[in-house]
Structure 1
Amino acid sequence: MERFVLAKLGSMFGLEKADGIFAPGGSISNLHAMLLARYKLHPESKQSGIFTLKPLVAFTSDQSHYSIKKAAVTMGLGLDNVVQVKTDSLGRMIPQELKKAVKRVRDEGKEPFFVCATCGSTVLGAYDPLKELADVCNQEGLWLHADACVGGSAIFSDKLKHYLYGIQRADSIAWNPHKMLCVPLQCSVFLTRHQGLLDACHSTRASYLFQQDKFYDVGYDVGDKNFQCGRKVDVFKLYFILSVHGLDEIARRIEAAFDAAAYLSEQVALRPGFRQVIPAAQCANTCFWFVPESLRGQEETPGWWEKLGKVAPRVKTRMVQSGTLMVGYQPIENKNLVNFFRMTNTCVPVPTSADMDFVLDEIERLGKDL
């Protein structure tokens, strides 16, 4: 079953004859990518370690998931060797900035080896320009990984898969069905275009577990091609949901989540007291501020922004206490480090415009006296 599902997903993402595995989550899938990138560049490191190598450097956007940093720590590369590349006003990695960063690292005597492109960033829902990043990686000889844990579900929809244009050129892909598809935790897919590399990187040929003289095809024994031993049968959850609902229904639900986010963004722009963080929703995320009446019509000084940053945490506290809503909030560096709301839609239940109206009505109700 795992072979069948991974082959189908590989074909959907454009990775013909893809290899892959199910992982405990996106963080582990991203770690798999970085491990494979290092092994492909320096296969000798499996036996002799990394002690004689130049410092290896990974590149990711300044909006990417923290797991890239954690993977670098786990692999002994260190946080100093993770370069966060500048993004544009929508949170997308700028290819020219990546080229500059790679050159700077080479000039420092270090060795670039890995680029993580984000497809649906955690906060803004940004999709990095995969085609342009693939061009840079091809020119520089770098492994391109697509962290599509959040936004990879767009691949099911003919209407939305343009967001992932260029993903077929990635060396590896991470996608989490337990996010937008709401497959029960845990269910994370890792795919790579490089057949046999997972096995070559991870296997230790423990003969007391992975005997090679069985009567059936030992290729079905996938346990040795990752760094776990026992694993849950996570593939069954995804297979079951896709089989029961069908790909057309899954596409409809994903489109509804994107449409709801776009509707919410439009309403934020129209309603007094609400303000967009970016001009339109990306992926299924909508980011916005709620400005209480006490702060409206004032000069937006640093002190004003500081006060606004306290609104979302207080409204969230009231949400939890009243039990009517759960919407996250956070600051990000290129948005004044001021807390704003992040509404993220998923496919279950299928979100509607009425649901989005309720979100804004409830935030306004809970925060009107602040």
Structure 2
Amino acid sequence: MAEPSGAGDSIPLDGPGLDMAAGEEFLQEVFRILLEEGVRKSTDVTQKVCDWKEPQELRELLDLELRSDGEGRERLLQRCRDVLRFSVRTGALPVHTSAHRSAAPGQPSASQFSPAQTPCGTAPPASARLFPGHPRFFNQLFSGLDHHALAGRFLTETLNTSPYTYEVAPVLVLMEEQVLATLRELVGWSSGDGIFAPGGSISNMLAMNVARFWRFPESRSRGNWDLPRLGLFASQESHYSILKGAALLGIGTDNVHLVRTDERGKMIPEELEKEIQRVKAEGSEPLFVCATSGTTVLGAFDPLDAIADICARHGLWLHVDAAWGGSALLSPRLRHLLAGIHRADSVTWNPHKLLMVGLQCSAFLLRDSSGLLQRCHGVGASYLFQRDKFYDVSLDTGDKSPQCGRRADGLKLWILWKAVGTKGLAQRVERAFGATRYLLEQVKRREGFQLVMEPEFINLCFWFIPPSLRGQESSPEFWDKLGKVAPAIKEKMIRRGSMMVGYQPHGSQVNFFRQIITNPAVTRQDLDFFLDEIQELGWDL
């Protein structure tokens, strides 16, 4: 497995990486705070609508700085109280819940399950237990439950506001400002801009739109009519949002040129150069290159420095889609995977994936600090963005986004960061890397398991070859039959409710499993069970 020296070494995997009991106690206290401060006081007419503070005073009261070391429980609980106290009370209504959700007619309730009734003897069936927090859910690039981030999500929902202006979301506007600045610092920028977007796809589309405005400011008012035919470039392994963005923005999917990748799924810089030259020769105008740091299936990292050199030579906008791999920047041992990212013009980073912040949390980061984002998207609606307000209107950041109403996705990341610190987030990334390394060694040792390739990141791709197909690799029907194995095994595991993992074909390669570990609750026992279960479910195929 390609890894930096020391990364993932000596990381204990015998027990969970989170203190689940302490986390539940913390949430119980947060629930009490939410009920009293967020619900009761928000519907009490004797309370102020807001406890107004000037920006600098509020910054000091909130102590917004994100530090390396995490804080204790009582301090975090007080921070939750402060978020509610200093935020605008919009009148969220109380929600009445019962201790146990009733089951559908004819179905047992969750409390009726016992270990003896379950497929594995340890947990209830899929209808009651298969959710992204389960340590045997490996299906997506997100999984797991962080109690602190969940507390931030509860706070966000309770506040029920949009962070477009400081007057209605003072706490949230300042938090977003701080979190985005810290993410930019990790990229390697001392200044810049950014906004939280509803997912990595939209963040990538924002990059495309800003790049077009940067080159052709008149496109904002006159559209594409007077523009030359534009050329966008991304690798064959790039996220499908680049094609969707080209369609949405009127650039056209025919003008997205997919650059060849090497055997590991990395963009080949020489092929990028050839594509740019070809597009120029055809009379089109190259505009935008999207490099990927952590591809969806193989987890590949494009060579950013070499790509940046090409973009600089041709005057192209370089965007890095680090939605998946961006969190490696938190680890001193792993950030080399994104070497050269500081040369990008824009970056997409999704903390809701590897950091377990919870859906959704996607940052669109911009190196430009001249107000390009505002000029590209802003229209200055007079009922929101009045210029004669009594406070610093530069804090009314909502006009940077194409959205009006927008979720405050930075709060849950801020709370999580406050809880565990930069060091804790780095350890989370490194634990996932260490767990993948352990599983890789087990795959190599077990008969019937075959790697697609050595992983660069935490995407572990492999086939399971059932006994009926072993030794038949030279048969013309082998690969066709093998391609039916993963779907059959997945159907069995879902019907059993034991676990969930993704599969897909890739180019000329037939269906294989893609195992992703992001949940710190996953232990060595869970990983051993994962392989045992695939072997058992596929044995008679």
Q: In the alignment, which of 177, 185, 205 is matched to residue 351 of structure 2? A: 177
Whole-Å separation in 2 of the counterparts to 1:266 and 1:140: 44
Q: In the alignment, which of 447, 451, 458 is matched to residue 272 of structure 1? A: 447
Whole-Å separation in 1 of the counterparts to 2:341 and 2:350: 16
3-state SS, counterpart of residue 338 of structure 1: strand
Aligned-residue offset at 1:351:
3.4
Unpaired segments ≥5 residues, structure 2 = 1-174
2:465 paired with 1:285 = no
Could you tell me which residue of structure 2 aligns to residue 205 of structure 1? 380
Aligned-residue offset at 1:282:
2.2
Could you tell me which residue of structure 1 aligns to residue 364 of structure 2? 190
Q: Answer with 268-277 or 160-169: which moved more.
A: 268-277
3-state SS, counterpart of residue 340 of structure 1: strand
| Contact 1:127–1:163 (Cα < 8 Å) also in 2 | yes
RMSD: 1.1
2:530 paired with 1:355 = no
**TM-score with structure 2 setting the length:** 0.67
Alignment of 1:7-86 (within 5 A): 7-86=181-260
Whole-Å separation in 1 of the counterparts to 2:510 and 2:200: 27
Letter in 1 for 2:342: Q
| Contact 2:431–2:520 (Cα < 8 Å) also in 1 | no
Alignment of 1:1-370 (within 5 A): 1-195=175-369, 196-278=371-453, 280-333=454-507, 336-346=508-518, 348-370=519-541
Q: Go from structure 1 to structure 2 and tell me whether the alpha carbon gap of 1:259 and 1:209 turns closer, same or farther (over 3 Å shift).
A: same
Whole-Å separation in 1 of the counterparts to 2:439 and 2:269: 30
Whole-Å separation in 2 of the counterparts to 1:264 and 1:197: 45
Of all paired residues, the percent bearing the same amino acid is: 56
Whole-Å separation in 2 of the counterparts to 1:68 and 1:202: 19
Aligned-residue offset at 1:84:
0.7
Please list the CA deviations of residues 92-120 of structure 1 after superposition, one character each: whole Å capped at 9, or x if unmatched.
00000000000000001001111111111
Relative contact order (C-alpha < 8 Å, sep 6+): which is higher? Answer: 2
Could you tell me which residue of structure 1 aligns to residue 164 of structure 2? none
Please list the CA deviations of residues 186-242 of structure 1 after superposition, one character each: whole Å capped at 9, or x if unmatched.
111110001211101001111122111111111111111110001111110100111
Whole-Å separation in 1 of the counterparts to 2:444 and 2:233: 34
Letter in 1 for 2:213: Y
Aligned-residue offset at 1:269:
2.1
Letter in 1 for 2:516: T
3-state SS, counterpart of residue 509 of structure 2: coil
Whole-Å separation in 2 of the counterparts to 1:277 and 1:352: 24
Letter in 1 for 2:243: K
Aligned-residue offset at 1:302:
4.1
Letter in 2 for 1:136: I
Letter in 2 for 1:223: G
3-state SS, counterpart of residue 441 of structure 2: helix
3-state SS, counterpart of residue 339 of structure 1: strand
May I ask how many residue pairs the two structures share in their alignment? 366
3-state SS, counterpart of residue 463 of structure 2: strand
Please list the CA deviations of residues 20-39 of structure 1 after superposition, one character each: whole Å capped at 9, or x if unmatched.
00000000000010001101
| Contact 2:432–2:520 (Cα < 8 Å) also in 1 | no
Letter in 2 for 1:222: T
| Contact 1:256–1:350 (Cα < 8 Å) also in 2 | no
Whole-Å separation in 2 of the counterparts to 1:226 and 1:68: 19
3-state SS, counterpart of residue 281 of structure 1: coil
3-state SS, counterpart of residue 369 of structure 1: coil
| Contact 1:256–1:351 (Cα < 8 Å) also in 2 | no
Q: Answer with 294-303 or 72-81: which moved more.
A: 294-303
Whole-Å separation in 1 of the counterparts to 2:444 and 2:211: 43
Whole-Å separation in 1 of the counterparts to 2:325 and 2:300: 9
Please list the CA deviations of residues 113-161 of structure 1 after superposition, one character each: whole Å capped at 9, or x if unmatched.
1111111100000000111111111111111111000011101100111
3-state SS, counterpart of residue 332 of structure 2: coil
Please list the CA deviations of residues 278-330 of structure 1 after superposition, one character each: whole Å capped at 9, or x if unmatched.
1x222211000000000000143442101000000000001101111111000
Whole-Å separation in 1 of the counterparts to 2:309 and 2:295: 21
Whole-Å separation in 2 of the counterparts to 1:134 and 1:354: 43
Q: Go from structure 1 to structure 2 and tell me whether the alpha carbon gap of 1:23 and 1:302 turns closer, same or farther (over 3 Å shift).
A: farther
3-state SS, counterpart of residue 447 of structure 2: coil
Please list the CA deviations of residues 326-358 of structure 1 after superposition, one character each: whole Å capped at 9, or x if unmatched.
11000111xx23000000111x33434333222
Unpaired segments ≥5 residues, structure 1 = none
**TM-score with structure 1 setting the length:** 0.97
Q: Go from structure 1 to structure 2 and tell me whether the alpha carbon gap of 1:59 and 1:301 turns closer, same or farther (over 3 Å shift).
A: farther
Letter in 1 for 2:532: D
Letter in 1 for 2:409: D
